[in-house]
Amino acid sequence: MSASFGGKARTTLLTLCAPLLFEGMSLSSINVQLAAIRRDLGLPDSQLQMVAGAFLATYAGFLLLGGRLGDRWGRRRVFLIGVTIFGSASLGAALAWDGWSLIAARACQGVGAAVTAPAAVALIVAAFPLGAARGWALGVLSAMGAVGFSLGVVAGGVLTELLGWRGTFVCYLPLALVTVLVGAFVLRGPGEPSRAATTVAWIPALLITTGLILAVYGLGRIGAASAAGVLGPLGVGALLFVTFAFTQVRDREPLLPRTLLGNPRLTAAGCALAGTFAGITGAMFVTGIHLQDGHGYSPAAAGFAFLPQGIAVACCSPVAGRLAHRYSAQRLLLGGLLTVSAGLFLYIGVERGGYLTHMAPAAILVGAGIAACYPAAVMLASAAAAEGEQATASGILTTYQQAGSALGIAVATAIQAIGPSRNWFGPAALWGCFAFSIAALIGCAVLLAASATRRSRVVVPL
């Protein structure tokens, strides 16, 4: 299919896909940078988990707002602004002088990623005609995040060893700069933005983002602060979530459309990704630190330890679509959740077992599970939405995923702080990650069963 594209179409697609690739790399590479960051800046665990969680929290909170900004200001302009924010924040992370300055830079990276993603989707829809060409282009765009996530943990480890953790952040700056320069010449927006028809919901986005950041911060302080130091952020975060829900009920144009909120298939898909990635991201966070601090791995070696996971994603992803057609998206999603759970269960024994007997099989199972879960969840979300709401449904799904990842890291940190092992690796934290995946499996099964009771047979158009 790609052979039928002209040179400009290929350049356009490459330009739009590039940010999702290096944003996905930034998402996973931090897991092998954290040990070096902690040694250099002397961060306590409560701040260390925020270095990873701040990116995820702002990504989740601003993602739905990003689509509104594109409608209001123009998709091309918002795309270029988002990439510029991400690149500038990467430079800010490289220049960070303490933990809070690094956390702030990571939060800005998440904002840049959040406004870039929906604009990229809209620009592809405008650039490629309806049919096979557009479907192929959107498929490539969707794959870039998974490829970047799988590549980032390996490339991040190598770059951290060669250039240091600051140099790894600097590497994103030229990538962003080239993307902005090329995009300024080749991208064309889909018409003028409708400023009168679209409102920008700044307050709801700030409420949910701040609430999520406070929840992550409060959970990460368990075991390291007084009860007031933990309950204060958690209480304020909960209040902000309630206020956000109130604004969504009152607003005429809520960030979360009411027609989608009560749909059990979309909720099942969202809960599946939230729980699954909470477990996966938490396990990678804990294991990445322990391999370096506990087993003496170099950053590059720690990155390569996760390589089987990326290989499994790459090998299993092409098969997932065919399996969904044959067995249904619901069954594929449940099978993927079960596979991820098996992988996270093996992670629990990594300390006692060897790499070939525990770590590699665990990474392979997790990668295969990701390859099954993600497309199945997207299919369910798309089927749950009306024709004009599919992009919003996709954004809600990604919000579930990123919010779950942020909370997974925070909970793993909390369990580690109060558990019997204080050397950043113990079965307690990994049991918690495994529990997330089991909860996702059970919750998804219950919600899908509830959906099936309202319909004699759930058929997902693929």
Condensed to tens digits (0 to 9), the pLDDT of residues 234-257 reads: 999 999 999 988 888 887 777 777
Taking the C-alpha atoms of residue 379 and residue 313, their distance in angstroms, rounded to an integer, is: 18
Q: Name the pLDDT band for 55 (thresholds 50, 70, 90).
A: very high
- pLDDT for 30 equals 93
On the question of pLDDT at 309 being above 70, the answer is yes
What's the residue count for the chain? 462
Looking at residues 204-208, what average pLDDT do you find?
88
pLDDT score of 392 = 74
Tokens of 82: 């988002």
Mean of per-residue pLDDT scores for the chain: 84
Answer whether 137's CB lies under 8 Å from 13's CB.
Answer: yes
Closest CA to 345 of 360, 362, 357: 362
pTM above 0.85, yes or no: yes
Q: What is the mean pLDDT of residues 151-176?
A: 93
Q: How far from chain centre, in Å, is Cα 309?
A: 16
pLDDT at 3 over 50: no
Distance CA(440)–CA(68), nearest Å, equals 30
Identical fold between 12-187 and 257-450: yes
Tell whether the model's pLDDT for residue 83 goes beyond 80: yes
> What average pLDDT does the segment 342-369 reach?
87
What pLDDT score was predicted for residue 1? 43
Between CA 430 and CA 308 the distance in angstroms is 19
Q: What's the confidence (pLDDT) of residue 436?
A: 94
> For position 2, what pLDDT does the model report?
46
Lowest-pLDDT range of 204-218, 255-269, 291-305, 365-379: 255-269
Digit-coded pLDDT (tens) for 412-456: 888 887 765 555 556 788 999 999 999 999 999 988 887 776 654
Q: What is the pLDDT of residue 351?
A: 72
The Cα 403–Cα 413 span in angstroms is 16
Domain ranges of the chain: 12-187, 202-254, 257-450
Q: Of the ranges 69-73, 394-398, 408-412, which is most confident?
A: 408-412
Q: What is the mean pLDDT of residues 219-241?
A: 85
Backbone angle region of 151, left / alpha / beta, with phi > 0 → left and psi within -120 to 50 → alpha: alpha
Identify the weakest region by mean pLDDT among 127-136, 189-198, 286-295, 413-422: 189-198
- Please compute the mean of the pLDDT values over residues 146-154 and round it to a whole number: 83
Contact in structure between 32 and 307 (CB atoms under 8 Å): no
So what CATH class is 12-187?
mainly alpha
Q: Which whole number is the average pLDDT over 188-200?
A: 56
Report the pLDDT value the prediction gives residue 198, as an integer from 0 to 100.
55
Q: What is the structure's pLDDT at 179?
A: 95
Cβ-Cβ contacts under 8 Å for 267 (sequence gap 6 or more): 447
Position 74 pLDDT exceeds 70: yes
Residue 458 confidence (pLDDT): 47
CATH of 257-450 among 1.20.1250.20, 1.10.620.20, 2.60.40.420, 3.40.1260.10: 1.20.1250.20
